[in-house]
């Protein structure tokens, strides 16, 4: 079957690539930004009401949030890629099964994560490296936010399925609605009712449930497929394909969680042996990781908006359109990364001051963290975009390898080894070294892929 016959009137195979990128990436970026606001807003209100110990507590809780996002990406991106590839190949029946199995997988694992967290809360917090003076703040926050794990997963993962179904604007609306509710309730619960950590946690999960319910209602009445109960029953064939395609972004999140746990433990250990103490490095790293998450919202939003375009056209054998979309996305990612690099290097004190006051030692560490740990921000678009491209074209093994390069292969060993010689400064220098090497590896692999003959010879 020829590519044109497969695509029919589907706009993913016919509209100009530039117009498709605008349609899919802008809502995806906005959706990712509003997701990042959940953490940023909590950090702002907690930092300006509870203080440094509250900021440290949210950083301790971050690995659990990361684990939820890992599940959302496993079934969200995996399901979306499988859905669009099947659509591009004209296999409508498999497409709807991929969507239904993805929904069931997200809800099941979300409930399981909530139960595990509630049952083993304090042992988990100890394992994450919680200092004694931060424990009660972290326990209060996580005990409540874990109730929202199923909807945190579904609102994020379901957004990918909604986008794959051709409704990126509605996916964006779900995230915006949740973020707006979270922001309003944060102000009321934390500043108005003085509920502190508990107020920020309740505001978060109420916003997540609002976004998750919106996603459920949409997927029950999807645009391009009719979802039935039989499609929701897990089948090895469909779940296996979804999980294989979602393994790369999921493994990247799991790697981030592992690195975050090791990073927290290292910051606590080496911080206690420095002039900063235990809490200051934890609090600063937590804030800066969430600020950096705003930058990555642009990059991840770009790569996620790119996914349905690449998957459909690759399935339809329109390889030149695939290459064109990849190159334009890379250029946009470079411009965004250079802008973020400039802000992190020139305005670190102004950024950190938004999240409350602190001692001069607090600001000194935060400024060093920004300028050293994030030194190679201008390269950090390459690895996530490239990893997602390989996943989108049905090569999850390559995508998984690239997703693990920075976190597991490079950053984790450096976080362990460098502080042995440089103390807490070794943690800071681990960041740019890992970023630089991961960027080089990613460039080599994507240039090799897009340089193949099929990307030059196929029709648009």
H or E element at residue 342 = helix 319-346
* DSSP code for 278: T
Q: Average pLDDT for residues 77-99, to the nearest whole number?
A: 90
pLDDT in tens, 408-459: 899 999 999 999 999 999 999 999 999 999 999 999 999 999 999 888 876 5
Task: For the chain, give the percent of residues with pLDDT over 70.
Answer: 97
Of the candidates 258, 152, 129, the residue with the CA atom closest to the CA atom of residue 211: 152
The confidence score (pLDDT) of residue 347 equals 94
Dihedral sign for Cα atoms in the order 356, 362, 364, 365: negative
Per-chain mean pLDDT for the chain:
89
Residues in the chain: 460
- Please report how the helices 279-315 and 382-392 are oriented relative to each other, as an axis angle in degrees rounded to 10: 40
Of the candidates 324, 325, 442, 340, the residue with the CA atom closest to the CA atom of residue 384: 442
Q: How many CB atoms lie within 10 A of CB 360?
A: 7
Supply angle C-alpha 14, 16, 17, rounded to 5: 105
Q: How far is CA 410 from CA 89, 186, 286, in A?
A: 38, 37, 21
Q: Of residues 37 and 197, which shows the higher confidence score?
A: 197
**Single pTM value for the model:** 0.74
Of the candidates 289, 267, 288, 291, the residue with the CA atom closest to the CA atom of residue 279: 267
pLDDT confidence tier of residue 335, bands split at 50, 70 and 90: very high
Task: For the chain, give the percent of residues with pLDDT over 90.
Answer: 54
**In angstroms, what is the C-alpha Rg of the chain?**
21
pLDDT confidence tier of residue 32, bands split at 50, 70 and 90: confident
Instruction: Return phi, psi of residue 279, to 5°.
Output: -75, -40
Measured between alpha carbons, how far apart are the two ends of the chain, in Å?
A: 16
H or E element at residue 61 = helix 52-88
The confidence score (pLDDT) of residue 39 equals 67
* DSSP code for 13: H
As a whole number of angstroms, the longest Cα–Cα distance in the chain is: 68
The confidence score (pLDDT) of residue 131 equals 82
* DSSP code for 101: H
Dist CA 359 CA 54 (whole Å): 15
Q: Average pLDDT for residues 117-123, to the nearest whole number?
A: 95
Q: Which two tokens stand for residue 192?
A: 């108005």
The confidence score (pLDDT) of residue 4 equals 42
The confidence score (pLDDT) of residue 6 equals 41
pLDDT confidence tier of residue 28, bands split at 50, 70 and 90: confident
pLDDT at 51 over 80: no
Supply angle C-alpha 430, 67, 341, rounded to 5: 40
The confidence score (pLDDT) of residue 7 equals 42
Q: Which two tokens stand for residue 70?
A: 């890992």
pLDDT at 60 over 90: no
pLDDT confidence tier of residue 221, bands split at 50, 70 and 90: very high
pLDDT confidence tier of residue 3, bands split at 50, 70 and 90: very low
Q: Please answer whether residues 299 and 33 qualify as being in contact, where contact means their C-beta atoms are separated by less than 8 angstroms.
A: no
pLDDT in tens, 223-240: 888 899 999 999 999 999
Which range in 80-89, 204-213, 394-403 is most confidently predicted, on average pLDDT? Answer: 204-213
Dihedral sign for Cα atoms in the order 371, 373, 376, 377: negative
The confidence score (pLDDT) of residue 62 equals 79
Q: Please answer whether residues 276 and 357 qualify as being in contact, where contact means their C-beta atoms are separated by less than 8 angstroms.
A: no
The confidence score (pLDDT) of residue 2 equals 39
The confidence score (pLDDT) of residue 460 equals 59
Q: Average pLDDT for residues 107-123, to the nearest whole number?
A: 96
Q: Please answer whether residues 193 and 199 qualify as being in contact, where contact means their C-beta atoms are separated by less than 8 angstroms.
A: yes
pLDDT at 260 over 70: yes
Residue with tokens 């921000």: 377
Alpha helices of 120-225 — where are they, by DSSP H?
Answer: 121-127, 135-145, 149-164, 168-186, 196-220
Q: Please answer whether residues 62 and 43 qualify as being in contact, where contact means their C-beta atoms are separated by less than 8 angstroms.
A: no
The confidence score (pLDDT) of residue 439 equals 94
pLDDT at 284 over 90: no
Q: Please answer whether residues 259 and 412 qualify as being in contact, where contact means their C-beta atoms are separated by less than 8 angstroms.
A: yes
Of the candidates 214, 197, 226, 224, the residue with the CA atom closest to the CA atom of residue 134: 197
Of the candidates 55, 47, 42, 56, the residue with the CA atom closest to the CA atom of residue 128: 56
Dist CA 60 CA 286 (whole Å): 8
* DSSP code for 379: G
pLDDT confidence tier of residue 108, bands split at 50, 70 and 90: very high
Q: Average pLDDT for residues 137-164, to the nearest whole number?
A: 94
Collapsed DSSP state (helix, strand, coil) of residue 178: helix
Q: Please answer whether residues 105 and 234 qualify as being in contact, where contact means their C-beta atoms are separated by less than 8 angstroms.
A: yes
């Amino acid at each position: 079957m020829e590519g044109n016959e497969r695509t029919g009137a589907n706009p993913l195979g016919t509209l100009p690539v530039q117009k498709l990128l605008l349609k899919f990436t802008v809502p995806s970026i906005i959706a990712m930004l509003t997701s990042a606001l959940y953490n940023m807003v909590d950090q702002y209100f907690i930092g300006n009401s509870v203080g440094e110990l509250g900021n440290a507590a949210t950083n301790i809780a971050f690995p659990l949030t990361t684990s939820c996002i890992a599940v959302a990406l496993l079934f969200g991106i995996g399901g979306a890629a499988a859905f669009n590839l099947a659509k591009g190949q004209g296999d409508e029946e498999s497409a709807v099964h991929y969507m239904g199995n993805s929904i069931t997988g997200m809800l099941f694992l979300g409930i399981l994560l909530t139960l595990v967290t509630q049952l083993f809360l304090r042992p988990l917090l100890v394992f994450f490296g919680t200092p004694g003076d931060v424990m009660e703040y972290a326990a209060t926050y996580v005990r409540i936010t874990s109730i929202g794990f199923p909807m945190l997963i579904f609102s994020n993962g379901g957004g990918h399925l909604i986008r794959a179904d051709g409704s990126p604007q509605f996916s964006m609306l779900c995230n915006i609605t949740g973020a707006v509710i979270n922001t309003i309730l944060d102000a009321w619960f934390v500043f108005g009712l003085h509920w502190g950590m508990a107020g920020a946690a309740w505001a978060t999960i109420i916003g997540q449930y609002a976004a998750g319910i919106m996603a459920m209602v949409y997927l029950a009445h999807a645009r391009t497929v009719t979802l039935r109960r039989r499609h929701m029953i897990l089948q090895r064939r469909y779940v296996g394909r979804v999980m294989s395609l979602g393994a790369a972004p999921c493994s990247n999140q799991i790697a981030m969680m592992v690195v975050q746990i090791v990073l927290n433990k290292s910051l606590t250990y080496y911080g206690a042996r420095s002039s900063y103490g235990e809490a200051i490095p934890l609090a600063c790293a937590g804030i800066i990781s969430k600020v950096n998450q705003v930058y990555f919202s642009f990059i991840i939003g770009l790569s996620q908006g790119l996914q349905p375009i690449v998957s459909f056209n690759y399935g339809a054998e329109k390889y030149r359109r695939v290459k064109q979309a990849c190159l334009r996305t890379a250029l946009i990612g470079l411009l965004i990364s250079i802008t973020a690099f400039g802000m992190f290097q020139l305005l670190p004190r102004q950024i950190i001051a938004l999240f409350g006051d602190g001692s001069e030692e607090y600001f000194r560490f935060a400024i060093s963290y920004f300028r050293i740990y994030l030194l190679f921000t201008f390269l950090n678009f390459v690895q996530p975009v490239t990893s997602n491209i390989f996943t989108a074209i049905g090569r999850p093994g390559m995508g998984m390898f690239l997703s693990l390069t920075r976190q597991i292969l490079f950053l984790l060993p450096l976080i362990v080894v460098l502080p042995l010689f440089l103390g807490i400064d070794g943690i800071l220098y681990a960041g740019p070294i890992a970023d630089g090497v991961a960027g080089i590896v990613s460039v080599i692999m994507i240039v090799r892929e897009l340089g193949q003959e099929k990307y030059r010879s196929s029709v648009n």
